[in-house]
Amino acid sequence: MFVKPTRDRRAERREATRAEIVDAAWELVRAEGLAALSVRDLARKVGLQAPSLYSYFASKNAIYDALFAQGAAQYLEDVEAQLTPTGDPLQDLRAGMHAFVRFCTDDPVRYQLLFQRTIPGFEPSPESFAISIAGLESVQRRIAGLGITEPGDLDLLTALGTGLTDQQISNDPGGDRWIRLVDSAMEMYFTHVTHRKSRP
Amino acid sequence: MFVKPTRDRRAERREATRAEIVDAAWELVRAEGLAALSVRDLARKVGLQAPSLYSYFASKNAIYDALFAQGAAQYLEDVEAQLTPTGDPLQDLRAGMHAFVRFCTDDPVRYQLLFQRTIPGFEPSPESFAISIAGLESVQRRIAGLGITEPGDLDLLTALGTGLTDQQISNDPGGDRWIRLVDSAMEMYFTHVTHRKSRP
DNA sequence: GTCTATATTTGGATAGAC
DNA sequence: GTCTATCCAAATATAGAC
């Protein structure tokens, strides 16, 4: 009689191969650009023929989606990892923004995939998108803990984050021309959101 | 004996056709996305066969470059058009930022071409790039006239501009969620750059 | 200057044998 | 699951006739 094994070695192997493909895809897009990903090149990189990839991913966009999901999970992890308020809100804001800009500049292609909409036919699946939403909600909770609860204040903070990051990546890649402004920008922001005269 | 005519009708016709091609290219990229531009489609749109386009532009990137140059010229014109200081620096900053965000959100594809680096093999030619530099320098002179001369202050302003624009385009296209923050953001910025305690 | 014809490359995706 | 073989579509760009 058939006994269901506790481990499904076949499924494990399959997942391992999928992970290998995703890793190789990151290498490719980092080297050639996000839009330059091709199924052929990717297959060769993992020692397969192109059609064999379709046993693991239904389409090229499914591969993009796997990259998006993994990047969003890394972002969520990155945000959650620094949830340690010090009692000094400004210091926490500075640390959080530094972490964000570093996360983005560490891997500009990942930033492009997660926070810009630049790939022609690709939209993340609802499941993958939910992960990135969770990341934003984590930021929201984090700054709420610092006393910043106005929706517009969160929006202003995300604008500052993407603006500093965008300029850094586009106009001074590898440098620190906008990274140097993070502390000052957070001071500006913190003063603004705390010295508000009236609730709008 | 040959007398050089005062007008070169042939050259005029040629320039007119080039302009027609550029106009059609804008229509195409606005409809299909920047990366989706194809020489075939473009040729068909102006009633030519694909190879005939090569009589006007040496390559596809030359077409991108013409778009870039035109967009940069429009930006320069947009910035120069509002060089009318009112004596109220904060009001001028607000007006200038509103104009910038409107310029970008009016044509997100143009914004993508000018201010983000997203097309795989394309880099603007030195001549085209010089136009966009002239635009930035115009902004620099403009805020210098308002008393803002620290280099880092210009960088912070451009970060605010691209950040607000990026978020508006990416997360609320057609809406005003980040546009609504422009006035408040400029107040924040102006207070920051004027209330500095010491010259850093 | 414009055309037809074509070279050349490259891409995503499928069929069917093994 | 992986392969070979192939389809199909699309792209940039060139050659050469008219």
Residues A70 and A140 both lie in one domain: yes
Is residue B43 pLDDT above 60, yes or no? yes
In a domain, B200, yes or no: no
Is residue A52 pLDDT above 90, yes or no? yes
Q: Of B68, B51, B176, B171, whose CA–CA distance to B116 is shortest?
A: B68
The pLDDT assigned to B95 comes to 97
Residues A43 and A78 both lie in one domain: no
Residues of B in contact with A161 (CB under 8 A): 163
Which range (A133-142, B3-12, B159-168) has the least confidence? Answer: B3-12
CATH of the domain at B9: 1.10.10.60
Residues A52 and A101 both lie in one domain: no
Q: Nearest CA to CA, how far is B158 from chain A (Å)?
A: 8
Residues of B in contact with A36 (CB under 8 A): 120
DSSP string, chain A: -----SS-HHHHHHHHHHHHHHHHHHHHHHHH-GGG--HHHHHHHTT--HHHHTTT-SSHHHHHHHHHHHHHHHHHHHHHHT----S-HHHHHHHHHHHHHHHHHH-HHHHHHHHS--STT----HHHHHHHHHHHHHHHHHHHTTT---HHHHHHHHHHHHHHHHHHHHHSTTS-TTGGGHHHHHHHHHHHHHS-SS--
Tally of structural domains, chain A: 2
Domain that holds residue B85: 59-194
Rounded distance between C-alpha atoms, residue A100 and residue A102, angstroms: 5
Is residue A194 pLDDT above 80, yes or no? yes
Q: Give nucleotides in strand D with any atom < 7 A to a protein C-beta.
A: 1-6, 10-16
Query: A68-119: per-residue pLDDT in tens?
Result: 999 999 999 999 998 778 999 999 999 999 999 999 999 999 999 999 988 8
In a domain, A28, yes or no: yes
Residue B170 has its nearest CB partner, among A117, A187, A188, at A117
Residues B84 and B41 both lie in one domain: no
Q: Positive or negative CA dihedral for B160, B166, B171, B175?
A: positive
Query: A145-156: per-residue pLDDT in tens?
Result: 999 999 999 999
Residues B52 and B71 both lie in one domain: no
In a domain, B38, yes or no: yes
Query: B61-109: per-residue pLDDT in tens?
Result: 999 999 999 999 999 999 999 877 899 999 999 999 999 999 999 999 9
Which range (A132-141, B4-13, B130-139, B176-185) has the least confidence? Answer: B4-13
In a domain, B155, yes or no: yes
Please name the residue ranges forming H helices in B89-150.
89-106, 108-115, 126-144
Residues A46 and A95 both lie in one domain: no
Residues B139 and B107 both lie in one domain: yes
Integer distance in angstroms from CA B73 to C1' C1? 30
Pick among B113, B158, B166 to test the A interface (most A CBs inside 10 A) = B166
Is residue B200 pLDDT above 60, yes or no? no
Residues B33 and B64 both lie in one domain: no
Residues B111 and B26 both lie in one domain: no
Q: Name the domain boundary from B57, B80, B103.
A: B57
Contact yes or no for B156/A184 (Cβ under 8 A): yes
Q: Which residues are in reach of strand C, CB within 7 A?
A: A 36-41, 50-51, 54, 59-61; B 10, 14, 17, 47-52, 55-56
CATH of the domain at A121: 1.10.357.10
Residues A122 and A75 both lie in one domain: yes
In a domain, A200, yes or no: no
In a domain, B199, yes or no: no
